[in-house]
């Protein structure tokens, strides 16, 4: 996470780490790979020359190519896996993809989002299912305590379920007065141990500086309450301006030279210099843009 490109630790080292530390290390590595738009591994034979980046999950880049194909690429080994062809729509309409569990899990699904539909494929099967979705575009999906949560373009929270049938339902959130709402609301969801956090901006204008605010989501039977956190204690949060990238938290960041109670923001791939903007919670945020255009990954592999 210091900006250098490091290889994957030996499996014995990964086994000695907790699940959260492994996930954080893998996500940070993926961030670095995506930022440079190239894989630090051997070229894959017969790989497509032009691909669209959709996201990354559980150590895999998720890419689309040739209109209706999805490709998983292990970011450490270069191993690739293809899903069945998607016959509903071309990849130009699909902008985001995420796995709901590791590929070798018995109930892993790949979710793909377009402007009007959500497509899902149960890994190991031969077909896709289409769910027509009439709401705002989905910006982010996270998994927390066995549930799948989605944040839409207007900052509204939803829960996604596969049983008894696929559904996506809005969750009522009791927002605090200081929280930004409306079209400029672009919060991130971050899983932090036993907490699901919402990282929000304190301004609803394009004028900077602004400050980040962090709210813990407290779930009850009918609503979700946002509880403001003044400090992150020994945690640091990692988010990206490209909403297709995963968010995560990291404990005791001083072990690798980081700072607790700080928020690290991955910059767009075109930026020079440091790959991160880092700011302490409550302090002014340096000038960073709030959105990243859709990206097609060209010539990711030499051909």
pLDDT tens track for 217-248: 999 878 899 999 999 999 999 999 888 999 99
122-174 pLDDT, tens digit per residue, is 999 999 999 988 888 999 999 999 999 999 988 899 999 998 999 999 999 98
User: Mean pLDDT, to the nearest integer, of 287-295?
Assistant: 47
Q: Identify the structural domains of the chain with CATH numbers, from first to last.
A: 11-298 (2.120.10)
Residue 285, pLDDT score? 80
Q: Which helix (H) or strand (E) holds 248?
A: strand 248-251
3-state secondary structure of 293: coil
Distance CA 185, CA 202 (A): 10
Statement: residue 215 has pLDDT above 90: yes
Per DSSP, the three-state class of 142 is strand
Which band of pLDDT confidence, cut at 50, 70 and 90, is reported for residue 296?
very low
Nearest Cα neighbor of 226 from 217, 235, 234 is 217
**192 by DSSP, 3-state: which?**
strand
pLDDT of residue 65: 84
Average pLDDT of the residues of the chain: 77
Least trusted range by pLDDT, from 56-70, 83-97, 235-249: 83-97
Pairwise CA distance, residues 234 & 66, whole Å: 45
């Amino acid at each position: 996470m210091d900006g250098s490109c490091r290889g994957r630790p030996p499996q014995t080292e990964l086994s000695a780490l907790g699940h959260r530390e492994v996930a954080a290390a893998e996500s940070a590595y993926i961030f670095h790979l995506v930022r440079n738009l190239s894989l630090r591994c051997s070229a894959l034979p017969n790989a497509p020359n032009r691909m669209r980046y959709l996201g990354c999950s559980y150590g895999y880049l998720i890419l689309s190519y040739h209109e209706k194909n999805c490709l998983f690429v292990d970011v450490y080994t270069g191993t690739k896996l293809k899903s069945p062809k998607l016959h509903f729509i071309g990849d130009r309409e699909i902008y985001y993809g995420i796995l709901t569990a590791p590929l070798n899990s018995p109930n892993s699904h790949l979710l793909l989002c377009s402007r009007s539909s959500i497509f899902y494929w149960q890994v190991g099967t031969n077909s896709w299912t289409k769910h027509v979705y009439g709401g705002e575009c989905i910006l982010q999906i996270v998994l927390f305590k066995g549930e799948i949560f989605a944040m839409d373009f207007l900052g509204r929270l939803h829960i996604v379920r596969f049983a008894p049938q696929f559904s996506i339902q809005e969750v009522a959130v009791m927002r605090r007065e200081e929280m930004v709402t409306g079209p400029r609301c672009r919060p991130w969801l971050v899983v932090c141990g036993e907490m699901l956090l919402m990282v929000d901006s304190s301004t609803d204008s394009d004028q900077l500086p602004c400050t980040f605010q962090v709210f813990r989501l407290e779930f009850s039977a009918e609503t979700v309450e946002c509880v403001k956190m003044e400090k992150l204690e020994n945690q640091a949060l990692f988010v990206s301006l490209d909403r297709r990238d995963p968010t995560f938290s990291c404990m005791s960041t001083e072990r690798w030279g980081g700072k607790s109670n700080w928020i690290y923001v991955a910059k767009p791939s075109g930026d020079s210099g440091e790959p991160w903007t880092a700011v302490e919670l409550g302090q002014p945020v340096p000038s960073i843009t709030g959105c990243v255009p859709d990206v097609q990954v060209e010539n990711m592999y030499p051909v």
